[in-house]
Chains A and B, each alone.
Chain A
Amino acid sequence: MSLLEPEGVAGLPGSPDSRVVTAGRVRGMGAFLVAIAVLAALAFGVATPAGAHATFTLGAPPAVAVAPLEMSVRFVAVVCALVCAALGVLLVARRGARGSYLIFSLGVVAFVWSFLTWAARGTDLNFVQMLAATLISTTPLVYGSLSGIMCERSGVINIAIEGQFLAGAFLGAMIASVTGDLWLGVLAGAVAGAAFGWLLAFLSLRYGADQIIVGVVIVAFCTGLTNFLTAQVLTPYQATLNSPQTFSPIAIPLVDKIPVVGPVLFDQNVFVYLAAVLVVVVNVGLFRTRWGLRVRSVGEHPHAAETVGIHVLSVRYRNVVLGGLIAGIGGASFTIGSVGEFSSEMTAGLGYVALAAMIFGRWRPFGALGAALLFGFSVSLQSFLAVLNVGIPSPFLAMAPYVITVAVVSGLVGRVRPPAADGVPYRRE
């Protein structure tokens, strides 16, 4: 139930899955597209010398070689501005809200394309690498938000994702380093995450502790503990305890030869593939199976669920432990997925960003994936722009992912409704 439901804003009370877009918001989106179209035409088109060209590298060895794409900046700006403006006008003029988000996204893609062309004027931009980097920044967020979804769909708030990340990253690195077996590292990460999921479930379900307090404290605890153990144990024995291998990318035969798409999607490490599989599995599980129906009913109306014979607390226990397990695997991806060692607070608050992605994605796996991709793309965009030297000071570039998220959440997403019993302790009557 929503706290402050202003009339006419998206989101009906009743279902967390309702997606009502009001006419006002659709018109606002249209006007926004027209505005950025004008901006693109002026800033990237008119203000750029006629002869300026940009080159997008679409794949060079060892990836699939594709001829680079060379474009006139002004031409791209004009075409993209026209497309963007046309989509904006379409949004303003049409009736009905179906597909508004899709049209809006296409308009934004056109704008971003012309912005990239402008930013890369007179030089090269490795487009494939940029998209691949997007996936890498997205992956931990996907694990984190799926963990949140698992817990919250059953009615338990998991604000401890950051802590479960750290635990998974730490133990994953240590076990992989000691045993030399990366898969044992993944397993250890999963176990560490699940252990803190269990702690959350134990304290909040068995003893009725406030879920948010326990969650916040698990983060503080894991931060303190991993810092303590890093200083006390890992650093003195760095070579044996904290020098794991990392998973190398695995190219999937045949599909990895598809130009552009192949190197981006099908030449990644196991963590990326597993994240993709998990999104599908959790989505199907939650919305297409008996298990999912039970979980959602426990998250929405536990008393009704109990009445039909569902054991509310067991469902919650199981989901919170599973959620912790997923976050723990995500944590392991920080160390044995790419960096190859654990360092203090290396998750850098991404657990909280994952939480935001979960809310932003309306507690749905594909929604969270979309949110995570948007965030991942802005992270990758800002690091590439920093290299291209477009004249924006780097701290402002670093802000971009966060500002974009705030803008999207305020402008597009609006009010969201969590599962009705989320965070409410269950007492049997």
Chain B
Amino acid sequence: MTPDVTPGVAAGAAGATAGGGPEPAVPARRNPLRGLVEANVVVVTALAIVSSLLIGGVLIIATSPTVLHALGRIGSSPGRALGVAGSTVGDAYAAMFTGAIVSPSGLGHAITTGHGWTAVLTPISETLVSATPLILAGLGVALGFSTGVFNIGAQGQLIAGALASLYVGFEVHLPIGIHLPLVVLAGAVGGAVAGFVPGYLKARTGAHEVITTIMMNYVFLDLLNELLATQPFQQPGQSNAISRSMPATARLPHLFGAGLRANLGFVVALALVVAAAWFMRRSTSGFAFRVIGSNPKAGRTAGIDVRKVTTAVLVMSGALAGLAGMATLSGTDFFLSSGYGGNIGFDAITVALLGRNRPVGVLLGALLFAALDVGGRNMQAATGIPLDLAFVIQAIIVFFVATPALVREVYRLRETGASLGQVLSKGWGG
């Protein structure tokens, strides 16, 4: 134990280390750098990102035939071997960066000539587009976690929201000023209905929301497949499982002109981040939610109707996931196909946990995930390294963020007074 630990954290660390044998005591003089940097959230997150990129680099090296071939001759030409390894990893990450944020050469060109700004802004725009559904669904999942409700059904709720939006989109004919809000509302309502079912079942019969939301993911996936192959949802004249498309009045307008896909959906997501933060911190219902999340018994004693809160949380959580489904449909895709939504519902769980269930944290986590995803696509196109590497990196980041004590130990950081390793989820809520 270092002498500078606070008593509370020391007790926690003692408990945590008991299983893995005693922590080796590192004398402070052996490592003069130890303890210079405090292990706060920003530092831990930054180091988590760096570490995960390092591990990702090792993965690239270990699985690339050209690099392995060059490394096989490391004895005869060590410089070349290391050069090949370095350039392979470097090219991959450079492609990831230019794909997600900005291409430096393109930026220089645009500044000097004044042309090509659309190309320069495309990566950022794509990152915002990818982040939008993650923010929305992530907020929903985080809301559930902070109330002790474990909603794994964001995927299904997202599909329900998208289906509702689509229906209102092609079935209703109104000017955009009325139509678009209706489409957005339909997404929320669709998701809310999908969230209401597990909420009602839990409140009424005690059926565990983990079981019911998992099962309903599959139900909505199958429902989507059925609806895509039948009228009125299927695109007329199509034999494929592809839906009708959204009319112009049901599409979210672009934010920065037609050349960039960034759209109003991102603004909606930002507004909901603010709204969610206000709701959880300032409103009476939000307070009731948090009480139930941290101490259900106290909540019940204080007269909070736990059943009502559970149902309400799942309805709101579902509504947010439904909006995520709407955002992609109405913002960029304009039609539904089989497997719509990809893995967003599950990524939303990771994003919520990465953001420590706080709205702003969810926003930042979603932006990070989206950047890795969009950048990974560019990496795959440019270097042939599979996009899945980006998902591995995402997972490793969360591993480290979830275990600040590990990062602290690896990088010899000073402990903070506040414990970062707090438990965010409430198990089965049982």
By a beta-carbon cutoff of 8 Å, the part of chain A in contact with chain B is 1-4, 6, 9-11, 157, 201-203, 205-214, 216-221, 223-225, 227-229, 231-233, 236, 313-314, 316-317, 349, 352-353, 355-356, 359-360, 393, 395-396, 398-399, 401-403, 405-406, 409-411, 413-418, 422-428
Contacts and interface: CB of A to CB of B under 8 A. Distances in A.
B45 interface: no
Interface of B: 11-12, 14-20, 59, 63-65, 148, 150, 152, 201-208, 210-212, 214-219, 222-223, 225-226, 229-230, 292, 296-297, 306-307, 310, 346-347, 349-350, 353, 385-386, 388-392, 394-396, 398-399, 402-403, 405-406, 421-430
Given A216-B353, A313-B19, 12 more contacts: A4-B202, A203-B399, A208-B405, A209-B421, A210-B402, A211-B427, A213-B353, A220-B350, A224-B395, A349-B214, A395-B225, A416-B206
A316 B19 contact: yes
Contact of B63 (A229, A398, A405): A229
Contact of B207 (A1, A317, A355, A410): A410
Contacts of B399: 203, 214, 217, 221
The winner among A2, A216, A225 for most chain B CB atoms within 10 A is: A216
19 contacts: A3-B296, A6-B307, A203-B402, A206-B17, A210-B424, A216-B346, A217-B353, A220-B398, A221-B392, A227-B386, A352-B152, A402-B215, A402-B222, A403-B219, A406-B207, A409-B207, A409-B211, A410-B201, A427-B11
A406 B12 contact: no
B421 A4 contact: no
Nearest to A25: B205
Given A216-B350, A423-B427, A405 B392 contact: no
A411 B205 contact: yes
B12 to A, nearest CB: 6
Contacts of B426: 423
A209 B19 contact: no
A398 B222 contact: yes
Contacts of A157: 427-428
Nearest to B227: A395
Contact of A416 (B214, B395, B398, B430): B430
Contact of B12 (A2, A6, A208, A423): A208
Contacts of B64: 232
Contact of A317 (B19, B386, B390): B19
A217 B391 contact: no
Given A216-B353, A220-B395, A352-B152, A406 B406 contact: no
Nearest to B299: A3
A236 B203 CA distance: 52
Contacts of A359: 208, 210-211, 428
Top-7 shortest CB links A-B:
A423-B427, A415-B206, A313-B19, A224-B391, A221-B395, A395-B226, A427-B15
The winner among B399, B405, B430 for most chain A CB atoms within 10 A is: B430
A206 B19 CA distance: 6
A388 to B, nearest CB: 19
Contacts of A313: 18-19
A207 B421 CA distance: 8
A416 B208 contact: yes
A427 B428 CA distance: 20
A403 to B, nearest CB: 6
Nearest to B59: A228
Nearest to A413: B207
A227 B214 contact: no
A1 B388 CA distance: 40
B82 to A, nearest CB: 21
B63 A232 contact: yes
